[in-house]
A and B are shown apart, each in its own frame.
Chain A
Amino acid sequence: MRALAWHGKHDVRVDNVPDPGIVNPRDCVIKVTSTAICGSDLHLYDGVIPTMQAGDVLGHEFMGEVVEVGPKSTLTKGQRVVVPFTIACGGCYHCNKHQYSCCPNGLPADNQDIARTGFGQEMSGLFGYSHMTGGYQGGQAEYVRVPFSDVGPIVVPDGVDDDEVLFLSDILPTGWQAAEYAQIEPGDTVAVWGCGPVGLFAVQSAFLMGAERVIAIDHYPHRLDLAARFGAERLNFKETDVYDALMQMTGGIGPDAVIDCVGLESHGVAFDNIVDRVKQATFLGTDRIHALRQAILACRKGGRVSMPAVYGGFVDKFPLGAFMEKGLTLKTGQTHVQHYMPALLNAIMEKKIDTTFMISHRMPLEQAPEGYRMFSEEQDRVTKIVLKPGLAA
């Protein structure tokens, strides 16, 4: 079959790779009908995520039609399903607590050493996201093997378009969880750094959870305008001193909750960021946290910091003093996708959440390398790319 494979920094190609099949009893195989390029795929594209190997098939936001089932799968051929990017068994201690992204049972034991060493414990397996997360083949492909198909994939009702539900796989639950982790109280002001797809869903979710004001921060005018569609106020950090503006807009108090939707490639224009960049390039340090630093300094005393953004390693100049002195609370983590899928599917069906507005491009799988280049280089115009393996190239 055809699939988008990683070959190195800024080098992805559509290759012929072996067809997937049923390996374990609870597996299914789906024929992919839609699969998106995620902002976190750009971390792979930029070569800042370790443990990638040439030939790894990318993609963790995907959906499709069930074409093969193992003896313990509860799905049937022909069903349309959206697949969570986190591979979780549904029955272990963590899954019973709905901490699906902490499930250790989907991560091959040989791949657990890396996270054990780096993080202290292993995390769940993920599709198409390096060998630290299992080395699973991803969904930017014609077909995918899906483990634990009896508990992960959610069946989509007939008559619902792929584009409406595809983002249940990752970014919608991620944006929702980010807002939930901000513990929003009615009347709150919430500031969101980064108006990529996760940030845009966090903006929508924050309003639905009762935020009175949401302030969106980015440097791409078009992305800021998308946030404004939902009522967010816009701050462009290229033309505005963000801290100064936030203090004035909140009467000197600061936002009650701050959400970092930027992550480890944060592009601030400041000295600390240049130092980070040099260290990242020379492998002396890893993650660049300019947005997070600014969020912590701006957050009101006793406020909440929510961090859906992806970080992989260590950081420098984390403002621990500000964090401690102001008595902030930080909540973060990979998304427990399975926990949120059913309620969010309902919210989509009831038209409470708009999911399709951010899709700027739809293209055949064969054009995926061009999609990566565009998404990486033209972020103002290109907000979300959905690949359709069924479309003629």
Chain B
Amino acid sequence: MSQHDDAPISSSRRSEAPAELAQTLERGQGSTMSGRSVTIARPAGEIYAFFRDFANLPHVMENLRDVRVLDDRRSHWVVEAPGGGHVEWDSTVTRDEDGRLIEWASDEGAGIPNSGRVEFAPAGERGTVVTLTTLYSPPGGAVGKLVAKLFQREPAIQARRDLNRLKQYLETGEVATAAVNPAQREEENA
């Protein structure tokens, strides 16, 4: 038995927890962690397949401008920063279990060193529990400051929003918006 409780490590208040989480990931890196779960009424395999094609993710992840798949393990990520800036990095899949789990870590030189894991756990009639656990290091320095502001704002909330949009898209075929017409929708997405 672990000396700690049975909670997910990402919800721990202990200061050593991020380092412990990093140890469970290959090339695990980062000092700030967040974990979020959402239940999606779709089979695990279908959600895994949508997620694993990283080019799909900008549909549901607000701050993701673009993901370019480089090969079957490597991809290039472009993330929006407030005020029109952006930050980019290459990322490598470090563990990949079909229909069950994907882990990744950013490559050398990333503006925001990060790593994480997304798990797809069957939940009977309710569908699949998707759990996204991320670990990242808010960057220092003048260039990174803008980005840090974005990420430090509410990284956990951002993850939750992204997962909720994923749920909406996969369950209803749409992402909910209060925009009254297409022009307003475009303004919101700009």
Q: Which of A's residues lie within 8 Å of B, judged by CB?
A: 17-26, 72, 87, 89, 91-93, 104-113, 116, 122, 125, 134-137, 145, 147-148
Residues from chain A with Cβ under 8 Å of B165 in the complex = 109
Complex contact A18–B174 (CB within 8 A):
no
Contacts of A89 in B (CB 8 A): 168, 171-172
Chain A residues within an 8 Å CB radius of B154: 113
A-contact bits for B151-190, CB 8 A (1 contact / 0 none): 0001001001110110110011111111111111100000
Taking a contact as CB atoms under 8 Å apart, the answer to whether A109 and B178 are in contact is no
Task: Say yes or no: B179 contacts A105, CB within 8 Å.
Answer: no
**Bound Cα distance A91, B177 (Å):** 18
Bound-state CA distance A91–B182 (Å) is 25
A19 to B182, CA, bound (A): 10
CB of B172 within 8 A of CB of A109, answer no
Please state if A116 and B160 are interface contacts (CB–CB under 8 Å). yes
A18 in contact with B180 (CB, 8 Å): yes
Q: Does chain A have a CB within 8 A of B33?
A: no
| Chain A proximity of B132: nearest CB distance (Å) | 14
B176, A26: Cβ atoms under 8 Å?
Answer: no
A contact residues around B174 at 8 Å (CB): 24-26, 147
Q: Which of B167, B181, B185 is in CB contact (< 8 Å) with A104? A: B167
Q: B176–A113 contact, CB under 8 A?
A: no
Q: Decide yes or no whether B41 CB sits under 8 A from chain A.
A: yes
Q: With the chains together, A135 CA to B127 CA distance in Å?
A: 29
A134 with B160, Cβ < 8 A, contacts A91-B41, A92-B171, A93-B126 known: no
CA distance A17 to B176 in the complex (A): 21
Enumerate the 10 nearest inter-chain pairs by beta-carbon distance, A residue then B residue, closest first. Answer: A21-B181, A109-B161, A24-B174, A109-B164, A135-B178, A20-B180, A89-B172, A136-B178, A109-B165, A108-B176
A106 to B174 Cα, complex, angstroms: 9
- B49: shortest Cβ distance to chain A, in Å? 20
**Contact residues in A for B182 (Cβ distance below 8 Å):** 21-23
> Within the assembled complex, what's the spacing in Å between the Cα atoms of A109 and B181?
18
Q: Which chain B residues lie closer than 8 Å to A20 at the CB level?
A: 180-181
Chain B minimum-CB-distance residue to A133: B178
CB contact under 8 A between A145 and B171, given known A93-B126, A109-B161: no
Q: B92 on the interface (CB 8 Å rule)?
A: no
A-B contact list, 14 entries, CB within 8 Å: A18-B184, A19-B180, A20-B180, A21-B181, A21-B183, A23-B177, A23-B179, A26-B174, A89-B171, A92-B41, A93-B127, A104-B167, A104-B168, A111-B178
> In the complex, A164→B49 CA distance in Å?
49
> B173 contacts A25, CB within 8 Å?
yes
Residue pair A125, B176 in contact (C-beta under 8 Å): yes
Q: How far is the CB of B164 from chain A (nearest CB, A)?
A: 4
Chain A residues lying within 8 Å of B41, measured Cβ to Cβ, are 91-93
Residues in B whose Cβ lies below 8 Å from that of A25: 173-174
Q: Is the CB of B178 within 8 A of A134?
A: yes
Q: Which residues of chain A come closer than 8 Å to B137, judged between CB atoms?
A: none
Which residues of B have CB within 8 Å of A137?
178, 180
- Would you call B37 an interface residue if the criterion is a C-beta within 8 Å of the partner chain's C-beta atoms? no
Query: Which residues of the other chain, B, contact A72 by a CB distance below 8 angstroms?
Result: 173
A105 to B60, CA, bound (A): 13
Q: Does B94 contact A (CB under 8 A)?
A: no
Give chain A residues whose Cβ lies under 8 Å from the Cβ of B131: none
Q: Which residue of B lies closest to A135 (CB)?
A: B178
Given contacts A25-B173, A116-B160, contact A105 B167 (CB under 8 A): yes
For the complex, what is the distance from the CA of A147 to the CA of B154, rounded to whole Å?
29
Closest to B126 in A: A93
Complex interface: chain B residues within 8 A of A109 (CB): 62, 160-162, 164-165, 168, 175-176
Q: In the bound complex, what is the Cα–Cα distance between A20 and B180 (angstroms)?
A: 5
Given contacts A110-B161, A116-B160, A24 and B177 within 8 Å (CB-CB)? yes
Minimum Cβ distance to chain B for residue A68 (Å):
10
Contacts of A145 on B, CB cut-off 8 Å? 180-181
Q: Chain A contacts of B161 at CB under 8 A?
A: 109-110, 112-113
CA of A331 to CA of B118, assembled, Å: 38
Chain B residue with Cβ nearest A57: B180
Minimum distance in angstroms from A342 CB to a CB of chain B: 22
Inter-subunit contact A108/B184 (CB<8 Å): no
- Which of A18, A87, A134 is B181 in contact with, Cβ under 8 Å? A18
Closest to A22 in B: B182
CB-contact partner of A105 in B127, B157, B171, under 8 A: B171
A87 to B176, CA, bound (A): 10
Considering the complex, give the chain B residue whose CB is closest to the CB of A92: B171
- Shortest C-beta distance, B34 to chain A (Å), equals 14
B44 to chain A, nearest CB (A): 16
Shortest CB-to-CB span from B185 to chain A, Å, is 5
